[in-house]
Amino acid sequence: MIALLQRVSQARVDIAGETVGQIGAGLLVLVCAEPADTEAVVQKLLAKILKLRIFADEAGKMNRSVQDEGGGLLIVSQFTLAADTSGGNRPGFTGAAPPALGEALYDRFVGLARAQHPQVATGRFGADMQVHLVNDGPVTIPMRMH
């Protein structure tokens, strides 16, 4: 799985002018399933995200996790994270899981996140979404878990 984390002071997802997911301070998590991903990969990625120390402590060092901070998670599916730009000018997306598998893994990721973290909001798999965010820092962390 591929994830792109952005530490935010606020973020929301709109679909057709309606806000479907919103958080205050926390993490915007863009996720993309890959064809070989499994339940174990989903669990491993979520565990890493929840414990990743990218929030400032009292001394200003990145030493606290989203769980330590009590921040929100806004989880958004984004198959374009698997873009292959090595040839031509149009990216290829064969590195992303097929839609049925991608949606199943995304749903599992969200379900596990909701079971392990008190504040979880989402976008909608496969929808045309507008993602609004205020990146705090800015802090943006790319991750890939196998």
Does the annotation count 79 as an active-site position?
Answer: yes
Catalytic-role residue among 80, 93, 130, 140: 80
Does the annotation count 80 as an active-site position?
Answer: yes
Structure tokens belonging to residue 58 = 């009292």
Name the phi and psi angles at 70, rounded to 5: 70, 30
Does the annotation count 94 as an active-site position?
Answer: no
- The number of helix segments (H) and strand segments (E) in the chain equals 3, 8
| All residues at 6 or more sequence positions from 25 whose CB lies less than 8 Å from its CB, including other chains | 8, 9, 10, 69, 71, 72, 136
Catalytic-role residue among 10, 19, 38, 78: 78
Catalytic-role residue among 6, 55, 79, 122: 79
Positions marked active-site: 78-80
